[in-house]
């Protein structure tokens, strides 16, 4: 029964994904869970729509609306994936008090945490789909299914989700070092990056001294590719990356994602070792 | 000879941070701990709260890095090869209600067995057997959030044994359990070791009876240092030449314990106040010293309600080594913390 080769990785991921789904889906009965999963994203989108409507006097037919709406919709992945992975540290350590038993088991811990994020990813995917459907059906978001570049869409979606998972792993490492629980750290960081990702406004709006954050933020390129693949004809509505081709943006996204993967591997290992040295792996603050 | 667990000069210092402007304080949790635990041994670590027992278990289970020294568990260094140690060990901590409340007892246990790569059919079989043993089989499909703290702890104990580890660490496994449940768990622990001589178990406890009844060898630990390590019988034999008395007396009205300790031939005295009377435990050089103790009591107008000579226990060994009983030390610590 000894652990060998890839088995611990596969096992860690598979079981963590199962556990994550049990936790995420079992807190309410299925009907309530389904209603919540629909109402939450639609409500979040409605806030943006109302603000847009007030500013533009209800000009939903403008190409920029689709661009903003889609950027906002896909941004749901950012908070959910990053939080899903990092929150597992707090949840297991403080709430379920199982962290030490998982940590001393033959589990590949980073893989376990990535697995715990799967449930949130599935829920986020459902939310994104609902939000886009709502936009297309009721708000004139212009997506022509025959014009969609599906290959580009799925390739960039996959790369982006991996990139977000790696960012979540960095956050998980940091959370291992925080003695006191931080409820909303995932959402807080996602919220901060929202301003620097071109999700709802171009980076040119930012002060020059802060603009560089948006340009080194891989989410900026990821959102751009997703929007171009779905509504390529209105890409010019956003000036930020208009001089770059799809391929150039994809290369930048891949490069930044690889960079983040390397950084997250080192960062997580460093944080884990430090947490072990400081005795924080199983610390319980009884919040 | 290879040992199941071996530590060499193991030290652990915690840095406790104060405010931003104050330097962190250092707390010595373990100091030069040298232990050699054989395969097939049920080894006990006996000491009061804060003695360093849990710190030692955390290091041996790869949860915590030592400050210096080394530790080998199941043949591998816990710092250099933690990933090789982990498949071979498991741990149970008492006095806590861990587990995923949304999962049933069976699901919780099954999930942990799968992390260890145990085939599902074997895991399910073991789960049933172990739940039967701890008397929890009727709750197999209950959500663990519906269990009482004691029942959750039983589930936790099952989780530890489920993976049939080479080395099992039990940190105060009966803490918070009722007398009957504690007895069942102790019986099971002993049987588990006796059934297979390749298994090794390290148990920490501050219950003297538990250590005396269960352990092949015991290390007495206090303030991070191992004070003595031997079989319970050998440890108690240290006091064979001395006379041990237990006295129930009227409340000590102003009579200071030092009055007794200053009597020639009195080695150690511990005192516990009860409702309406006091209990004194005395370790004397020889039997005839008791007459001087009785005289001092008479002079102090203390009435003797009960006087009993008894065989030495591990508690007496602890008192002999440390100067206080575990109960006294923990009550002192409680007073300091309030």
Residue B163: both structure tokens together: 């993976």
Reported pTM: 0.86
User: Closest Cα of chain A to B85: distance in Å?
Assistant: 9
CB B100 to CB A273 under 8 A? no
Identify the band that residue B58 occupies on the pLDDT scale cut at 50, 70 and 90. very high
Distance CA B97, CA B157 (A): 11
How many percent of chain B have pLDDT more than 70? Answer: 96
pLDDT of residue B1: 57
CB A102 to CB B61 under 8 A? no
Mean pLDDT, rounded, for A166-183: 85
Classify residue A94 by its DSSP letter.
I
pLDDT at B40 over 50: yes
pLDDT of residue A66: 85
How far apart, in Å, are the Cα atoms of A41 and each of A47, A126, A146, B67? Answer: 10, 9, 26, 49
CB A97 to CB B97 under 8 A? yes
Residue of B nearest to A7 (CA): B117
Better-scored residue on pLDDT, A271 or A28 = A271
CB B114 to CB A107 under 8 A? no
Mean model confidence pLDDT for chain A: 87
Q: Which residues of A touch B15 (CB under 8 A)?
A: 278
Q: Which of A8, A13, A93, A101 to mutate to test the interface with B (most CBs of B within 10 A)?
A: A101
CB B115 to CB A105 under 8 A? yes
Nearest to A70 by CA among A84, A43, A49, A51: A49
Assigned CATH topology for domain B239-337: Alpha-Beta Plaits (3.30.70)
User: Who among A7, A23, A282 is closest to B102 (CB)?
Assistant: A23
CB B87 to CB A7 under 8 A? no
Q: Which residues of A touch B103 (CB under 8 A)?
A: 19, 22
Ranges A24-33, B37-46, B266-275, most confident: B37-46
How far apart, in Å, are the Cα atoms of B10 and each of B48, B59, B69? Answer: 19, 9, 4
Interface of B with A in 15-34 (CB under 8 A): 15
How many interchain CB pairs under 8 A, A with B? 87
CATH of domain B5-230: 3.40.50.300
Residue of A nearest to B82 (CA): A104
Identify the band that residue B338 occupies on the pLDDT scale cut at 50, 70 and 90. low
Q: Where are the beta strands (DSSP E) in B223-336?
A: 225-230, 243-249, 266-274, 277-284, 304-310
Distance CA B52, CA B12 (A): 9
Would you say B168 and B74 are in contact if contact means Cβ atoms under 8 Å apart? Answer: no
Better-scored residue on pLDDT, B323 or A247 = A247
Distance CA A117, CA A17 (A): 7
Three-state SS string over A223-247 comes to HHHHHHHHHHHHHHHCCCCCCCCHH
Interface of B with A in 80-139 (CB under 8 A): 83, 86-87, 89-91, 93, 96-103, 107, 111-112, 114-118
Q: Render pLDDT for B78-92 as a digit per residue (tens, 0 to 9).
A: 999 999 999 999 999
One-character DSSP codes across A154-178: HHHHHHHHHHHHHHHHHHHHHHHH-
The shares of helix, strand and coil residues in chain B, as percent rounded to the nearest 5, are: 40, 30, 35
User: Closest Cα of chain B to A94: distance in Å?
Assistant: 10
Distance CA A257, CA A259 (A): 5
Q: Render pLDDT for B135-156 as a digit per residue (tens, 0 to 9).
A: 899 999 999 999 988 899 999 9
CB A22 to CB B102 under 8 A? yes
Mean pLDDT, rounded, for A129-135: 90
Better-scored residue on pLDDT, A55 or A236 = A55
pLDDT of residue B253: 66
Residue A166: both structure tokens together: 């790696």
Q: Which of B117, B122, B158, B171 to mutate to test the interface with A (most CBs of A within 10 A)?
A: B117
**Beta bridge partners of residue B8, listed in sequence order:** B70
User: Closest Cα of chain A to B210: distance in Å?
Assistant: 24
pLDDT of residue B301: 84
| Domain locations along chain B | 5-230, 239-337
Distance CA B169, CA B160 (A): 8
Query: b/e for B264-279, b at 16 or more Cβ within 10 A?
Result: eebbbbbeeeeeebbe
CB A2 to CB B90 under 8 A? no
CB B111 to CB A98 under 8 A? no
User: What is the distance, to the nearest Å, from the Cα of residue B140 to the centroid of all Cα atoms in its chain?
Assistant: 29
Identify the band that residue B29 occupies on the pLDDT scale cut at 50, 70 and 90. very high
| Residue B278 Ramachandran class (φ > 0 left, ψ -120 to 50 alpha, else beta) | beta
Q: Render pLDDT for A211-229 as a digit per residue (tens, 0 to 9).
A: 999 999 999 999 999 999 9
Please give the ipTM for the structure prediction: 0.85
pLDDT of residue A180: 67
């Amino acid at each position: 029964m000894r652990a060998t080769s890839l088995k611990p990785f596969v096992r860690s991921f598979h079981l963590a994904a199962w556990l994550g789904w049990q936790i995420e889906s079992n807190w309410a009965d299925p009907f309530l869970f389904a209603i919540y999963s629909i109402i939450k994203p639609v409500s979040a989108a409605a806030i943006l729509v109302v603000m847009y409507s007030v500013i533009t006097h209800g000009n939903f037919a403008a190409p920029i609306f689709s661009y903003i709406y889609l950027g906002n919709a896909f941004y749901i992945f950012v908070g959910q994936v990053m939080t899903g992975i990092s929150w597992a540290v707090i949840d297991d350590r403080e709430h379920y008090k199982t962290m030490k038993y998982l940590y001393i088991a033959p589990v590949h811990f980073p893989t376990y945490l990535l697995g715990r994020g799967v449930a949130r990813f599935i829920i986020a995917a459902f939310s994104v789909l609902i939000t886009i459907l709502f936009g297309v059906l009721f708000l004139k978001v212009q997506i022509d299914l025959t014009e969609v570049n599906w290959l580009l869409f799925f390739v960039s979606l996959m790369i982006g989700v991996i990139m977000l998972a790696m960012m979540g792993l960095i956050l998980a490492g940091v959370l291992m070092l925080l003695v006191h629980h931080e409820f909303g750290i995932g959402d807080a960081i996602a919220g901060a990056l929202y301003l620097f990702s071109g999700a709802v406004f171009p980076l040119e709006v930012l002060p020059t001294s802060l603009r560089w954050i948006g340009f080194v933020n891989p989410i900026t390129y990821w959102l751009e590719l997703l929007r171009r693949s779905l509504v390529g004809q209105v890409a010019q509505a956003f000036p930020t990356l208009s001089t770059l081709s799809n391929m150039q943006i994809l290369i930048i996204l891949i490069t930044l994602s690889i960079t983040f993967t390397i950084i997250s591997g080192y960062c997580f290992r460093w944080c884990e070792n430090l947490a072990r040295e400081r005795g924080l792996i199983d610390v319980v603050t009884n919040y | 000879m290879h040992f199941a667990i071996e530590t060499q000069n193991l030290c652990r210092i915690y840095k406790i941070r104060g405010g931003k402007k104050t330097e962190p304080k250092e707390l010595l949790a373990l100091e030069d701990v040298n232990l050699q635990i054989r395969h097939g041994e049920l080894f006990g670590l006996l000491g009061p709260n804060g003695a360093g027992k849990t710190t030692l278990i955390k290091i041996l289970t790869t949860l915590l890095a030592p400050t210096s020294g080394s530790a080998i568990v199941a043949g591998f260094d816990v710092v250099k090869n933690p990933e090789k140690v982990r498949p071979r060990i498991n741990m149970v901590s008492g006095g806590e209600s861990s587990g995923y409340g949304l999962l049933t007892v069976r699901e919780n246990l099954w999930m942990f067995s799968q992390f260890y790569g145990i085939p599902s059919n074997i895991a399910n079989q073991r789960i049933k057997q172990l739940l039967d043993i701890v008397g929890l089989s009727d709750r197999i499909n209950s959500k663990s959030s519906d269990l009482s703290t004691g029942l959750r702890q039983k589930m936790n104990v099952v989780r530890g044994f489920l993976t049939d580890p080479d080395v099992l660490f039990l940190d105060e496994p009966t803490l918070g359990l009722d007398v009957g449940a504690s007895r069942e768990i102790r019986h099971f622990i002993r049987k588990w070791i006796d059934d297979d001589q390749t298994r090794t178990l390290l148990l920490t406890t501050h219950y003297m009876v538990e250590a005396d009844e269960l352990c092949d060898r015991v290390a007495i630990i206090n303030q991070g240092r191992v004070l003595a390590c031997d079989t319970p019988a050998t440890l108690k034999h240290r006091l064979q030449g001395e006379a041990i008395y237990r006295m129930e007396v009227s409340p000590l009205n102003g009579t200071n314990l030092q009055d007794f300790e200053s009597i020639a031939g009195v080695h150690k005295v511990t005192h516990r106040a009860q409702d309406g009377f006091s209990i004194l435990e005395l370790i004397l050089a020889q039997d005839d010293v008791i007459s001087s103790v009785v005289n001092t009591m008479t002079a102090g107008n203390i009435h003797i309600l009960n006087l009993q000579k008894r065989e030495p226990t591990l508690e007496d060994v602890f008192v002999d080594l440390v100067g206080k009983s575990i109960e006294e030390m923990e009550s002192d610590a409680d007073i300091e913390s309030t």
